[in-house]
Amino acid sequence: MARDRPQGRPRTGAPLTSYRQPGVVLTDHRFTVPLDHDEPGGERIELFAREAVASARVGADLPWLVYLEGGPGFGARRFIGRQAWLGRALQEFRVLLLDQRGTGLSTPVNRQTLPLHGGPRQQADHLAHFRADSIVRDCETIRPLLTGGAPWTVLGQSFGGFCATHYLSAAPEGLDTVLITGGLPSLDATADEVYRAAYPRIARKVEAHYARYPQDIERARAVARYVAEHRPVLPNGYTLTPEAFQSLGIVLGAGDGSHQLHYLLENAFVRTPKGPALSDAFQENIASSLSFAGHPLYALVHEAIYAQGGRPTDWAAERVRGEFARFDAAKTLAGEGPLYFTGESIHPWHFDNDPALRPLRETAELFAARTDWPALYDTARLAANEVPVAAAVYHDDMYVDTEHSLRTARAIRGLRTWVTDEFEHDGVRAGGPRVLDRLLALARGED
């Protein structure tokens, strides 16, 4: 489908700060948008985005590609030069690395700022504006300022792919092409159904880890036993419990995650005059891994990214976990089996253990009980889609269910998939240039 292309530099009218890194020129952009796009005269928030363009093409007429990071709750990756997929993108695009609302250098949302909006009820109402629907409306607000009205390409990783799928539902006129990596969501699964599909995948990743590193079976049990007996407080004030220790398994969804977990466990204990204790190095490492201080929105709104149709999420991951006895740490320690780590799931105890989340416990409870969620996907519009779309689907992705993704792929007219077991969920980071090259070829009908 032929589409107009943007010409030259962005049309923001504001003074811009530009600077150089190897092979790339970066420009910082700041925009103000409504907190609630249905109330444009109400509260406004700031969005930060970093433009990247190849040094040799600064003044060239280039199409725009906007990158939507995974999460929710993470700012766009801070590249140095032409790392990962960015170098491939800069061959033909002017790239916008958007800090989605509430993340990075955009107006922050955390335990320090949420009280500005009132008590827990008002804070929960505020958080309702940080899902994919608001993020897409942000994109459509800033797109004309940068492209002069021309459509752009969207690259969505993980939750960024959820946003891109909503974009196809809500504003396809703003899209030239959509590229999705590990982020085709179910169009209709409830949060309960998402986690019911997730726990068996997590178990497979844990079993594969122990098959690779069988010595970690006893190491993990030893740590869990120690934690259950001592309930240590980590250097950052995080209270370590067996369930929190299990949540380190979230790394198993990345290509090198199993190796990272192994190296972490091998340094867990040190001898002391009072007997074995968790080493300072181990405690320091897991403190940074477990804390949500740098991305509290992830914990606050994670289950809400699945919410539609008037149902509360109601701590779905915690409730569904009870259906899978192998993840019960107490039962495991009472027996002889391996400890099963968990993955991408948020639980009420996160808001007890983590000092970055403790002040927001009541807010999180109210948010989990919320029912007034609008639909995120228009299935009729997706069935009539005319935007070129290509998606990388990882065949046993720990974070996004493969069958859910393939069902959605079949529901979006013209979408082409690349199903691969070469990468885990972080394929666009681990194999960036090749992954992006393959998706562009698919979207253009060249592959």
169 is catalytic: no
158 is catalytic: yes
Given 36, 129, 133, 158, which residue is catalytic? 158
Q: Is the peptide bond before 72 cis (omega within 30 degrees of 0)?
A: yes
Q: How far apart are CA 297 and CA 99, in angstroms?
A: 13
Q: How far apart are CA 121 and CA 423, in angstroms?
A: 42
Estimate to the nearest angstrom the gap between the alpha carbon of 392 and the chain centroid. Answer: 16
Given 295, 302, 350, 425, which residue is catalytic? 425
Q: How far apart are CA 342 and CA 60, in angstroms?
A: 48
Structure tokens at 43: 């509260």
Residue with tokens 């700012």: 75
Name the H helices within 231-328: 242-246, 257-265, 280-290, 296-301, 316-321
The DSSP call for residue 28 is: E
Estimate to the nearest angstrom the gap between the alpha carbon of 47 and the chain centroid. Answer: 18
Residue 363, CB half-sphere, CA atoms under 13 Å: how many? 27
Q: How far apart are CA 308 and CA 288, in angstroms?
A: 33
Q: Which residues contact 64 (CB under 8 A, 6 or more apart)?
A: 6, 93, 94, 95, 96, 143, 146, 147, 150, 152, 153
29 is catalytic: no
Tell me if residue 131 falls in helix, strand or coil: coil
Estimate to the nearest angstrom the gap between the alpha carbon of 234 and the chain centroid. Answer: 25
Catalytic residue numbers? Answer: 158, 372, 425
